[in-house]
Structure 1
Amino acid sequence: MINDRQQNPWILSIVSIFLLHLVTTTNSSHNPLFKRLSIELFNAPALAQTLPGGIQYSPPDRGAPRSTGSGGARAHETPTILESEENWTRTRGTPTPDPKPIQTIPKECISTTPTLLVPQNHLGLTTSSNPTFLWYLPSKDVEIMVFELRKAEEKEPIYAEQLQPSAGIIQMQLPKDKAKLEIGEEYIWSVSVSCVSEGKRRKISVEAGIKRVAPTPELTNQLSQANTSQDKARVFAQRGYWYDALETLSTAFTANPNQSTYSDILALLDQVGLNEITKKERQQ
């Protein structure tokens, strides 16, 4: 992902950030919505510190536990890894075998299993009908990568797309002309990759939940007073809108890569238990 370079001990305070603006998708007519953020850091400790007045994520009030239903207890509130025989085709109305949740990723698949950039113990919220989804892919050595979105209580996706794998942090906005989230509805989104384990081709999927809610008057008022994208992201984070906060930062960073914005991105990921991802990014 990043070329090795000799570090000069006299310029450890210099941060070099490189952004690859676009990764072409294999089956997509909206390429600008699918991007990879490629970051090269000369001074990781500088970004490890949260700036004064930095971003602070406050999880939303979860309220009373919801009904577990037939799919297990609140499975969509915690990212779940599933494994199944490789099958990338779906025929509407035709039953397909349910994938099985796994606790341990096959060792042959560890380097290609994505990590969804979401809270690890609760459902993330958004106010957007077409939010941006982000995940981390350790290696681009994947033959197939598929994004899917479905309603929480349904098996068939309302949107699916095959994407070109690329190592690092990946972001993809739900295309406005293809699908949208409804207020009050919960959805499951997933990223699936192919993998060969024990001589068999496997489909490794990682899925998590998202819920669209209407913005409160307090949120709207605070956003109107925010002067920058970072200020808006911090408002979203303080109010518990995970997807909106991360999307605002990633969009701002794509337009204008800088240390302050990326520091907020890493700080957000750290606060929801994604320390392994931030550690890898800082060590590159």
Structure 2
Amino acid sequence: MLSYLLFLSTTFGFVTPEMIVTNPDKTQKAEIGKIQPPPMIAILNLNNLPDRGYPSGRRRGAASRDQVCPAEYLDLTALVPESNFGLTWSSNPSFWYYIPDIENTTISGEFTISEVLEDNAEKNIYRNSFQLQEGILKISPSLDQKLEDGKTYTLFFKIHCNLRSSEDYSYVRSQIQKNSMPANVETGMVASSLSERLQLYAEYGIWYDLVSELGQKLLEDPNNAELQEMWDELLEKADLENLLGHDLREL
């Protein structure tokens, strides 16, 4: 009974301390401020994501040429902010994409990372091709050239919709910038809990690390209800509700 009342209190905010009874024979008032909420997940605040956007980016699939890809191929989605731009503290981060369910079809994809140079030209630093399955896919490339502080990189992911022509594909495109982790954050990271680390990523607007740490935990423990609830919250706050309910996978 007590746990149920506490749940109502923390969830709906209408149970007062006077209503909480620890012993039916002895009505005791709980001290205000002593009622602890249940050990729930972090409430992620995505308001600190960078204002900068990538106008030519796309997080939902677009066809390389008009009317060459069936509609289901255009469900390809990059797990990135609406601005198509995000930050990382990692020199070798992971990336997440939704691969659509295309019945009786082998899906072939390609992922490219390019460094954006001072004249806005781009230099490829990574390219790889994959055979893919439906679901939310984690890609963890082993980069020979690690991402460098202060530099911006373009991410290009495509799935072929006509295996007879490499020119026919659905694609998404976004950008990532590598920043250095503040010294005070780095010191506290090791001893912090998962919830605390996710809050720090959110506070500093570090999208890619937030998604990857939470997603990896859910991959390792897919039946964990709290992790699943937090993952769903992240998708909803990023306006990616269409990806709710899809399995997580990794290459």
For structure 1, which runs of at least 5 residues remain unmatched after alignment? 1-50, 67-72, 86-101
Q: Does 1:267 align with 2:243?
A: no
Cα deviation for residue 194 of structure 1 reads 1.1
CA distance change for structure 1 residues 162 and 122 in 2, over 3 Å: closer, same or farther? Answer: closer
CA distance change for structure 1 residues 62 and 238 in 2, over 3 Å: closer, same or farther? Answer: closer
Q: Give the counterpart of 1:126 among 88, 91, 97.
A: 88
CA distance in 1, matches of 2:64, 2:74: 15
Q: Give the counterpart of 1:56 among 3, 25, 44.
A: 44
Letter in 1 for 2:96: L
Deviations 1:8-34, CA, capped at 9 Å, x for gaps: xxxxxxxxxxxxxxxxxxxxxxxxxxx
- Answer yes or no: is the 8 Å Cα contact 2:72–2:101 preserved in 1: no
- Answer yes or no: is the 8 Å Cα contact 1:142–1:195 preserved in 2: no
Deviations 1:75-103, CA, capped at 9 Å, x for gaps: 24x53755436xxxxxxxxxxxxxxxx8x
Residue matched to 1:232: 197
Cα deviation for residue 268 of structure 1 reads 1.2
Letter in 2 for 1:276: N
CA distance in 2, matches of 1:61, 1:116: 16
- Answer yes or no: is the 8 Å Cα contact 2:201–2:209 preserved in 1: yes
CA distance change for structure 1 residues 109 and 144 in 2, over 3 Å: closer, same or farther? Answer: farther
Q: Does 1:208 align with 2:174?
A: yes
Which structure 2 residues correspond to residues 1-284 of structure 1 after superposition, within 5 A?
52-60=40-48, 62=50, 74-76=55-57, 79=59, 81-84=61-64, 108-111=70-73, 113-121=75-83, 123-139=85-101, 141-152=105-116, 153-176=120-143, 178-196=144-162, 202-227=168-193, 229-257=194-222, 258-278=224-244, 280-281=245-246
Cα deviation for residue 226 of structure 1 reads 1.1
Query: TM-score, normalization: structure 1?
Result: 0.61
> What SS class does the counterpart of residue 110 from structure 1 fall into?
helix
CA distance in 2, matches of 1:107, 1:145: 14
CA distance change for structure 1 residues 235 and 241 in 2, over 3 Å: closer, same or farther? Answer: same
- Percentage identity across aligned positions? 20
Cα deviation for residue 255 of structure 1 reads 2.5
CA distance in 2, matches of 1:181, 1:235: 21
CA distance change for structure 1 residues 161 and 60 in 2, over 3 Å: closer, same or farther? Answer: same
- Report runs of 4+ in structure 1 exceeding 6 Å deviation: none
CA distance change for structure 1 residues 281 and 144 in 2, over 3 Å: closer, same or farther? Answer: closer
RMSD of the TM alignment (CA)?
Answer: 3.1
> What SS class does the counterpart of residue 270 from structure 1 fall into?
helix
- Answer yes or no: is the 8 Å Cα contact 1:190–1:206 preserved in 2: yes
Kindly tell me the number of residue pairs found equivalent between the two proteins: 202
Cα deviation for residue 116 of structure 1 reads 0.4
For structure 2, which runs of at least 5 residues remain unmatched after alignment? 1-38
- Answer yes or no: is the 8 Å Cα contact 2:49–2:204 preserved in 1: no
